[in-house]
Chains A and B, each alone.
Chain A
Amino acid sequence: MSRQTTSVGSSCLDLWREKNDRLVRQAEVAQNSGLTLRRQHLAQDALEGLRGLLHSLQGLPAAIPVLPLELTVTCNFIILRASLAQGFTEDQAQDIQRSLERVLETQEQWGPRLEQGLRELWDSVLRASCLLPELLSALHRLAGLQAALWLSADRLGDLALLLETLNGSQSGASKDLLLLLKTWSPPAEELDAPLTLQDAQGLKDVLLTAFAYRQGLQELITGNPDKALSSLHEAASGLCPRPVLVQVYTALGSCHRKMGNPQRALLYLVAALKEGSAWGPPLLEASRLYQQLGDTTAELESLELLVEALNVPCSSKAPQFLIEVELLLPPPDLASPLHCGTQSQTKHILASRCLQTGRAGDAAEHYLDLLALLLDSSEPRFSPPPSPPGPCMPEVFLEAAVALIQAGRAQDALTLCEELLSRTSSLLPKMSRLWEDARKGTKELPYCPLWVSATHLLQGQAWVQLGAQKVAISEFSRCLELLFRATPEEKEKGAAFNCEQGCKSDVALQQLRAAALISRGLEWVASGQDTKALQDFLLSVQMCPGNRDTYFHLLQTLKRLDRRDEASALWWRLEAQTKGPHEDAMWSLPLYLESYLSWIRPSDRDALLEEFRTSLPKSCDL
């Protein structure tokens, strides 16, 4: 009787085992199938098969002869499921837990206790496993999956304890996970064991690389490049797929740059580029390196290459039906030095760097390219705008206008500004009514975004360049009107205008007012109306006492009007200020405003100061 049941049981076992082997082979066939859909179907099919097989195995009471197969099927199921979904979920943790509980079911002295966490379960199972040598290799494989799950969920404490138990070492002996991973030696698989998608040794290698890379990157982001170096070297020396290797090399390059070894950094970056496929991160890192070295040409060149590289859609190869290193890497972090953003983001970096380094012509071209990229909806694929922390879209328009003006293309700049205003016209307060109300002086002007004022400012400047003084002055006046009536503190209601974080600072408002006043003053000066100019400059000094340029313009005008007393008083104030804490280094102004301010900076500042220095003592003596 009993012999009969064993024979039935063993034949069933063979049947199940054959099914497992067949499904694993099917997954492997799917793996090698070139067609994406067929591949997906086959793999889904295999997954369902494994699920069914697991159900039938777990429908029976746990028995030691069947358990190795059951654990293997569980492992295959988890591996296929996680690789298909490209990530672990809570379900997989539950699958593992169920398997462990079933192992314990066979051990009366460890009898399954409810409310046991996964960690305690592993503890009990591994302690019991010395009595069950036939389960050892399957259990190690399951432990490898558990480790992968905990690593991807960042539960490193649990992971360390598990590895300690696996290694049989005393708890608390060593907290170095890398070391623990290295010392873990899973037992060799038997030759006649049921087929598996991935064995424990393979899992160990993947875990080792993934963990070393994670740790290195973490250290790099938190600012410990020397600590990061060793981990990253570990990752690079391990079994590392190419895309990951590119990232590891780039991270190594970044480490060396931060440690002040540009030569070695370059070597790693070159190595990363040689690895092929993903050129983005190394190119971006290279541009940073060249910027640090002050090699603007090389920097811009690498940025241009980066734009090109990002234009090529990265042909991601279909993921394997295995637990891969990529699966265990942390989700991409915006703060990571390896985050290279999108094409338009890079294009914006390139354009703004051109503007900052004074290559106005290039900047203008790049900006126009960027705007075309963003606005042209005929492009089959969407291009995202430079998302935060970059500037908001209106600011990109303004930067483009600045670049155009600087490149001497005032007419284009005017067109661009018009475009900006027309596209946002629906959002703006009803201007015609506003002007009327403002003239009547009855109603307050509503708050208007700063960039609207800035657009008028740039339009004025463009008209200046075109020699239309009157139009320029009226644009400056309109800008000032908007700026003075509005207080940015006015809280916004509703959901509108979400992007003005950068332009909303008080400093920016003050500087914008000063810039507009100076610009108008300069136009008055140019048209010979010095008194009007004086008024504007005086107001500007009042509005923005921190802006030294205003003082110079005022000083010059006073001098020209021959109001020497006031000029000397002003000079003394300026002198006192110079001795105090220096300049406006802490301001971070929007790029367009910074560029604009640089235009209206008096060119002969030092000469003027020198002139006063020599002339004033005489007056003092008086």
Chain B
Amino acid sequence: MAGAAPRVRYLAGFCCPLGGLAAGKPRVLCHEAEVFLSTGSELVYVYDQDGGLLTAAFRFPDQVWHLELLAPRRLLYALCARRGLYCLSLDHPGRSRSTSQDDRDSEDGDQPSPVIPVDPDACILPDAALCAFTLLDSVLVTLVQGPTRWKMQLFEQPCPGEDPRPGGQIGEVELSSYTPPAGVPGKPAAPHFLPVLCCVSPSGSRVPHDLLGGSGGFTLEDALFGLLFGADATLLQSPVVLCGLPDGQLCCVILKALVTSRSAPGDPNALVKILHHLEEPVIFIGALKTEPQAAEAAENFLPDEDVHCDCLVALGHHGRMLAIKASWDESGKLVPELREYCLPGPMLCAACGGGGRVYHSTPSDLCVVDLSRGSTLLGPEQPEEGPGGLPPMLCPASLNICSVVSLSASPRTHEGGTKLLALSAKGRLMTCSLDLDSEMPGPARMTTESAGRKIKELLSGIGNISERVSFLKKAVDQRNKALTSLNEAMNVSCALLSSGTGPRPISCTTSTTWSRLQTQDVLMATCVLENSSNFSLDQGWTLCIQVLTSSCALDLDSACSAITYTIPVDQLGPGARREVTLPLGPGENGGLDLPVTVSCTLFYSLREVVGGALAPSDSEDPFLDECPSDVLPEQEGVCLPLSRHTVDMLQCLRFPGLAPPHTRAPSPLGPTRDPVATFLETCREPGSQPAGPASLRAEYLPPSVASIKVSAELLRAALKDGHSGVPLCCATLQWLLAENAAVDVVKARALSSIQGVAPDGADVHLIVREVAMTDLCPAGPIQAVEIQVESSSLADICRAHHAIVGRMQTMVTEQAAQGSSAPDLRVQYLRQIHANHETLLREVQTLRDRLCMEDEASSCATAQRLLQVYRQLRHPSLILL
């Protein structure tokens, strides 16, 4: 195995359009070490197999549909779509090189050879309707798409050394009618299938054989030739042009019978004979030698002479294959043996190899069928000297190479195997060395040496196969795993989405705590993901936590500080829980924009689970290769929202005054304080003046106050459970700080007012007291609870106020749902308050407008006024009944 030469060798890659090359138009020709290649685009490449590099690239004005090489004269003929036939002399490519080097050859960056634009003068036969051509020694045969019929034309070829332009037209005949492809009138659409032309000569013909050796010609054994084309062609030893049309017709024209002058085009009925109708587009015509003995003889005695084929083969696009052989019936009469086979299609291209083998390529595989006599099991019934019959059925043997769009077989290599040149749909040129004799059971006699070699090959074959098997197995396992995972994910999604309002089988709860990281206190959010369902969350699931600060939530324009944390959930079985802690702030700038919203979602990534199973992990494997990545859905996964939690001021307040003395921190550290300042502060004598603007403001500015009044009845109704026996004020404070870590202390000490510190270090004072409101209700004073927030920092007041109002809101909505009735109110009074507020709001509006326009000096006064108005707005404070 170690010493085995690689069966497939990649030579070069060529650019190909998205989606790969289409079959039908790319061509590969091989002459000695040179490979001529067109991919169906405007470019024709010349590749040197010995040197392993591109030696030239020609750019034609339009797509190249067909290539033929006149090897002895080193002329390359190319059919250019909608232009006509071009002829390039390979010896003087520079002749057609224009002065300016074309710089657009960016397909291969390191390509050393220049792209040579083909000179318009190289067009030897301008004809926009030209669809196919083939070359014979002295004749150029073309097929032109007429308005309603195919037209075959013959042109005289000049002698060697002359100008390669064809001489006069020496013959013309119309073939069968065809259905023109739908296209814009006047601009015919490019045909999907091109007709196939090839030249057949009788064996006795004196046409030099090397000229027929190209892609389009072969020599047929006399018996088959006479049988197919008649006595006249045999007697005249005339070459015959075989023509396979896209409608499935296989017809032939005896060249010598084509009449010469334009004034007398031949009578189609007399000149064109329809051999067969494949009923699907003909994509290939070829011929084979199927008689093994004769083949050996040819090998031994006429090494350089090309073989006289004894079997004609035509292949249709959908896999129908026709094989014709000559045979003698029991009375000794020559009869044609004609068989149709059905091979799995669609066929991309085909080639005839030695030993009666036909190679054909489908999108999924390159297969070989054996038409030779040795492969049939009919041996005993056959008469001895008669030619063997065609096999009754064909079994394609796979060669495990997929999507070959053009093939060319070099008949024999030194070892007796066949060498194929193939161009894959991805534009890769490769050689396939096939030693089929060892792979397929044949009548070959074995010597010790060959047995050894054969065993070696078998072993290497087994190695190859086992490698392939293990690879395929791996792929299957991967897919199975992906499917299981998908199924689980489906179950989880269903469970989550169908749970409705009840407790969710998978939940995520969020709580916040302060903790000290290095020199700074940080508010940490702890999310606990709990799986109480029957399914487990496996690979592919991710917990996404999005932290949205209030400035983001309010300001839609800013794409700022929404931070998303994604935490892969690696295996969370039923009943298991996972805790995730993340810092909420304060951030670098020291601020903590409360409230902060923490939303948790579960995300299932399809790409991670399915993509791995579908992606081509090994490019050598054709089956997985062909699976494009675009089968993945547009959406990359499944998103399941779990919970949404808002962290507000009340949860973040710290109460250093409540802490027991031994645990009491020197002082709650504000955000990023200068360590020096901290040091100075701690060293400062008690009684000395605190420095810093905040302390100054605290010193000189009266603290801002905001208050909310709630009717005691409402609060009592809301707090009746869990707070019985506790004064309403204390119960209210406990309720407000329910989510704060200090709630236990508050409860234990039955506090009704509390002094706390906001995250930015400002003092916040919460005072709850019972008041009676007299002006509201005609029935008498209403018992109410006033919640008052005092702080030196206006921002903190706002945040605390906002948090309290938020809680009130939820409480009121809950109470409203339970249907408590509001007491009788003095509507007039309320109206009054409302009207006052409206005038104040208008004033705020004008003040703010003025603030924008005024200069600094006057704006200061305006700001003062604005502050006052805000204060007035808060009096009388919000009342909830």
- A residues in contact (CB < 8 Å) with B: 37, 40-41, 44, 51, 87, 89-91, 94-95, 278, 280, 313-314, 316, 331-332, 334, 339-343, 374-375, 377-378, 380-385, 387-388, 392-394, 397, 420, 423-430, 433-434, 437, 443-447, 449, 493-499
Q: Would A495 and B223 count as touching, CB distance under 8 A? A: no
Tally B residues with Cβ within 8 Å of A. 62
Measured in the bound complex, the distance between the Cα atoms of B91 and A194 in whole Å is 49
Pair A380/B159 contact, Cβ less than 8 Å: yes
Interface centre among A313, A377, A444 (most CB of B within 10 A): A377
B120 contacts A by Cβ under 8 Å = yes
Whether A313 touches B335, Cβ cut-off 8 Å, given contacts A342-B260, A392-B232, is no
The answer on a CB contact under 8 Å between B264 and A342 is yes
Contact of A499 among B156, B230, B256 (CB under 8 A): B230
Residue in A closest to B156 when the chains form the complex, CB atoms? A381
Q: Is the CB of B260 within 8 A of A495?
A: no
Residues of chain A within 8 A of B165, CB atoms compared? 37
Do A393 and B227 have beta carbons less than 8 Å apart?
A: no
Q: Considering the chains assembled together, what is the distance between the CA atoms of A108 and B225 in angstroms?
A: 67
A332: chain B residues at CB < 8 Å are 263-265
* A387-B259 contact in complex given A41-B120, A334-B267, A494-B227, C-beta closer than 8 Å: yes
Measured CA separation A331–B262 after assembly (Å): 10
Closest B residue to A86 using CB positions: B262
Interfacial chain A residues near B228, Cβ < 8 Å? 495
Q: Given the complex of chains A and B, what is the CA–CA distance between A343 and B221 in angstroms?
A: 30
Known: A91-B186, A332-B263. A382 touches B331 (CB 8 A): no
Q: Which residues of B sit under 8 angstroms from A339, Cβ to Cβ? A: 264
Contact A443 B230 (CB under 8 A): no
Contact B260 A382 (CB under 8 A): yes
What is B's interface to A at a CB cutoff of 8 Å? 120-121, 123, 126, 138-139, 147, 154, 156, 159, 165, 168, 170-171, 185-186, 204-207, 221-223, 225-228, 230-232, 234-238, 255-267, 270-271, 273, 275, 328-336, 338
Say whether B121 contacts A382, CB under 8 Å: no
| A387, B234: Cβ atoms closer than 8 Å | no
- The distance from the CB of B773 to the nearest CB of chain A, in whole angstroms, is 76
Q: Shortest beta-carbon distance, A335 to chain B, in Å?
A: 11
Q: Using known A-B contacts A314-B261, A382-B256, A387-B270, determine if residue A496 contacts B334 with beta carbons closer than 8 Å.
A: yes
B211 to chain A, nearest CB (A): 12
Taking a contact as CB atoms under 8 Å apart, the answer to whether A434 and B231 are in contact is no
Q: Is the CB–CB distance between B234 and A433 below 8 Å? A: no
Q: A423-B204, A426-B334, A494-B338 are in contact. List 10 more A-B contacts (CB 8 A).
A: A37-B126, A41-B120, A91-B185, A339-B264, A341-B259, A375-B235, A382-B170, A426-B234, A437-B332, A446-B331
Main secondary structure of the interface of A (DSSP, over half): loop
CB–CB B236/A375 < 8 A: yes
Tell me the smallest distance from the CB of B118 to a CB of chain A, in Å. Answer: 14
Shortest beta-carbon distance from B262 to chain A in Å:
6
Which residues in A have their C-beta under 8 angstroms from that of B259? Answer: 341-342, 384, 387
- 25 A-B pairs, CB-CB below 8 angstroms? A44-B126, A314-B261, A332-B265, A339-B264, A341-B259, A342-B264, A375-B237, A377-B207, A380-B156, A381-B138, A382-B255, A384-B258, A388-B270, A394-B232, A424-B231, A426-B226, A427-B226, A429-B332, A445-B331, A493-B335, A495-B275, A496-B230, A497-B231, A498-B273, A499-B230
Nearest-CB residue, chain A, relative to B126:
A40
Q: Which residue of A lies closest to B138 (CB)?
A: A380
* Smallest beta-carbon distance B603→chain A, Å: 53
Among residues of B, the one whose C-beta sits closest to the C-beta of A428 is B334
Report the bound CA distance from A52 to B330 in whole Å.
Answer: 68
Q: Which residue of B lies closest to A451 (CB)?
A: B231
**Complex interface: chain A residues within 8 A of B154 (CB):** 382
Report how far A381 CA is from B256 CA in the complex, Å: 9
Q: Which residue of A lies closest to B158 (CB)?
A: A380
CB distance from B157 to the nearest CB of A (A): 9
Measured between alpha carbons, how far is A427 from B230 in the docked complex, in Å? 9
Nearest-neighbor residue (CB-CB) of B223 within chain A: A426
Q: Is the CB of B227 within 8 A of A495?
A: yes
CA distance A8 to B76 in the complex (A): 52
Residue in B121, B205, B232 whose beta carbon sits within 8 Å of that of A37 in the complex: B121
Give A422's nearest chain B residue, CB to CB: B204
Count chain B CB atoms within 10 A of each CB in A397, A444, A494 and give the residue with the most. A494
Other-chain residue from B171, B333, B338 in contact with A447 (beta carbon distance below 8 A): B333
Asked if residues A423 and B234 are in contact (CB atoms below 8 Å), the reply is yes
| B212–chain A nearest beta-carbon distance, Å | 13
Q: For A449, list chain B residues within 8 Å (CB).
A: 231
Question: Which single residue of chain B is at the shortest CB-CB distance from A493?
Answer: B335
Give min CB distance, B627 to chain A, whole Å: 44
A428 to B123 Cα, complex, angstroms: 46
A430–B204 CA distance with the chains assembled, in angstroms: 19
CA distance A44 to B238 in the complex (A): 36
Which residue in B261, B265, B270 is a CB contact (below 8 Å) of A331?
Answer: B265
User: Quick check: A377 and B223 within 8 Å, CB to CB?
Assistant: no
Q: How far is the CB of A385 from chain B (nearest CB, A)?
A: 6
Give bound CA distance, A316 to B121, whole Å: 23
Does the CB pair A434–B273 fall under 8 Å?
no
Q: Which residues of A contact B227 (CB under 8 A)?
A: 427, 494-496
